[in-house]
Chain A
Amino acid sequence: MTLASKHTPSAPDIGRPESKWLGPLVLLGPSGIWLALLLVLPTLVILELSFVPGIRPGDVVNPSGLQNYTQIFQPIYLQVIARSLFFAINTTLICLLLGFPVAYWIALIAPSRWRNLLLLCFVLPLWTSSLLRSYAWITILRPTGVLNTLLTSIGLPPLNLLNSGSAVLIGMSYSLLPYMVLILYASLEKLDRRLLEAAADLGAPPSEAFWKVTVPQTLPGIAAGSLLVFITGLGDFVDPELLGGASSMTAARLIYNQFLGATQNWGFGSALSMLLILAVSLAIALLIKYGDSTAQR
């Protein structure tokens, strides 16, 4: 009797506090555990490992110094980092210079019913294997490849581009151009055309209107696209490895070698990896700060 009277009226109420916790737990718990185990914890482990000098697989972990980080400041490694930055910055510039006109054309000049299709065509190569896209450039750039066959057939001297910095830049720009176009397009599409018309009415020549109206308005898009290309370029492994040859050692290749190559210095590899994460976070922090300042204006 007492039991029944306790139960029946308050049944919905009993369910409530339970479901208040059950919902978030069921929805957010599984992926939370997965991310904690396979993303957060691993990153903390490499942070710890980066303070262990000269560790090899199987060694006892005993954090004891900054030696791995000071090792980075040796001229040979500074050169590697400088080269990674050089590739990433130049790729960003090339993608911006090539991508802006394309995005501008698709967003503002091409007939509107073709726009989605044109954009799709431009982005489609992203869906193909990045290894194969690099491999295609090997076929084009190698000494007996397509480019040199064309050059010699019109009487020009052959170029030896494969295994050089130029080959890496070509490969990386080709891989990352679609991202740049996609982001610039999104930004140019939102451009307020009335401002351009107003500028023309007020007597501004097209070039002045472009620099004073179009560019400032698309600046957040330019910044976002450049950042994405820069970050991806900085961490790119495939293009430098396949197209760059021995002289194009980059940070990502160096990290790869510390873990899977002959070197096997996990501590130093972890330190380099942390540096890469730090560089990426710094770039994002700069964008957020910069993005905010453009939004306030």
Chain B
Amino acid sequence: MYLPILVLAFYSFNQSAYSASWAGFTLAWYRKFFADERILSALQTSLMVALLAVAIAAVLGTLMTVGLARYHFPGKGLYRGVAYLPLIIPDIAIAVATLVFLAVVAIPLSLWTIVAAHVVFCLAYVAIVVSTRLTGLDSHLEEAALDLGATPAQAFIQVLLPELMPAIVSGCLLAFVLSMDDFLIASFTAGGGVTTLPMEIFSRIRTGVKPDINALSVVLILASGFVAFVAESIRYQGTQKRLK
């Protein structure tokens, strides 16, 4: 599993990146990468999209999950089905639908259209992580708060939200990584001047093997490995706490 990733790491330090043999150690690709303004601005765009989309999805997704767990209403199954649809439907279908829709209602493509489209699948991932946590929770705590005179909003913020926090955070991290990784939906919903990191990487891979991509890979892999580690440990602590 790690061989391909190690190969990238190996090449990122190799002086001659165009042949497979070792030509000596260098940090030149890293220097080149950190001085590359197009990559840095694409990274900035991606971070902004991911942070905005995840923030919106975290709020909407948490409210939705609690709402779905608490209320029974006609069409609930349909609502839930639609919310979880992005987990199953191929990215390309979502990308196409969003692009066509935006064209029909004549909304110009921009950074905001990427964010709006990313919220849709981030919502699904936040919701699925939070709902697993919610089903394991003791609902009496919130009822007790209500009995003691708390308003529903107080009970929600002071009792339920802290209990759900680990799940919300780990759902957000998952959604964040997926948003940072998304190439298809972003390239369908980005306007002319907007380029996210995956779009930049894709165009560089297509135009030929550029050695500074190896350096970029290593930096990104380390970063996402770190996020994965944080997410897993939060999830792990969450399950430990529940077992107690």
**Chain A residues near B243 (CB-CB < 8 A):** none
Residues of B within 8 A of A77 (CB): none
Is residue B19 within 8 Å, beta carbon to beta carbon, of the partner chain? yes
A215 at the interface (CB under 8 A from B): no
Q: Identify which of B18, B60, B83, B100 gathers the most chain A CB atoms within 10 Å of its CB.
A: B100
7 A-B residue pairings within 8 Å (CB atoms): A28-B68, A31-B123, A34-B116, A35-B83, A57-B103, A132-B201, A135-B213
Docked complex Cα distance between A260 and B93 (Å): 13
Interface residues on B, range: 35 or more
**Which residues on the B side are within 8 Å of A155 (C-beta)?**
none
Across-interface contacts of B82 in A (CB, < 8 A): 35, 39-40
Contact in complex: A276, B7 (CB < 8 Å): no
Contact B225 A122, beta carbon cutoff 8 Å = no
CB-based contact A135/B225 at 8 Å: no
Interface membership of B64, Cβ < 8 A: yes
User: For the side of the interface on A, what is the size category?
Assistant: 35 or more
Which of the listed residues B1, B177, B209, B213 has the most CB atoms from chain A within 10 Å of its own CB? B1
Question: Smallest CB-CB separation from A134: which chain B residue?
Answer: B205
Is A136 within 8 A of B4, CB to CB? Answer: yes
Give every chain A residue within 8 A of B181 (Cβ-Cβ): 129-131
A-B contact count (CB 8 A): 201
Query: Which residues of A are found within 8 Å of B214, using beta-carbon distances?
Result: 139
- Given A45-B97, A132-B217, A234-B90, the answer on whether A139 and B1 have CB atoms closer than 8 Å is no
Which residues in chain B, 60-95, are within 8 Å of chain A measured between CB atoms? 60-61, 63-64, 66-68, 70-71, 73, 79, 82-83, 85-86, 88-94
Q: Which residues of B contact A236 (CB under 8 A)?
A: 90
Partner of A46, one of B100, B180, B184, B217: B100
A232 within 8 A of B: yes
- B217 and A136: CB pair below 8 A? yes
Q: Which residues in B have their C-beta under 8 angstroms from that of A203?
A: none
Q: Once the chains are docked, how many angstroms separate the CA of A44 from the CA of B88?
A: 17
**A131-B201, A242-B205 known; A149 and B21 CB under 8 Å?**
yes
Q: How far is the CA of A165 from the CA of B78 in the complex (A)?
A: 39
- B97's nearest neighbour on chain A, judged by CB, is A42
Q: Does B202 contact A (CB under 8 A)?
A: yes
Known A-B contacts A27-B64, A35-B123; the reply to A270 vs B100 at CB < 8 A is yes
Say yes or no for A183: interface residue by CB 8 A criterion. Answer: no
Contact of B8 among A23, A26, A135 (CB under 8 A): A135
Give every chain B residue within 8 A of A145 (Cβ-Cβ).
Answer: 20
Q: Is B150 an interface residue (CB 8 A)?
A: no
Q: Which of A155-188 contact B (CB under 8 A)?
A: 174, 177-178
Q: Which 4 pairs across A and B sit closest by C-beta, in order of nearness?
A: A235-B90, A27-B67, A136-B4, A42-B101
Shortest Cβ distance from residue B46 to the other chain A in the assembled complex, whole angstroms: 10
A contact residues around B63 at 8 Å (CB): 26-28, 30-31
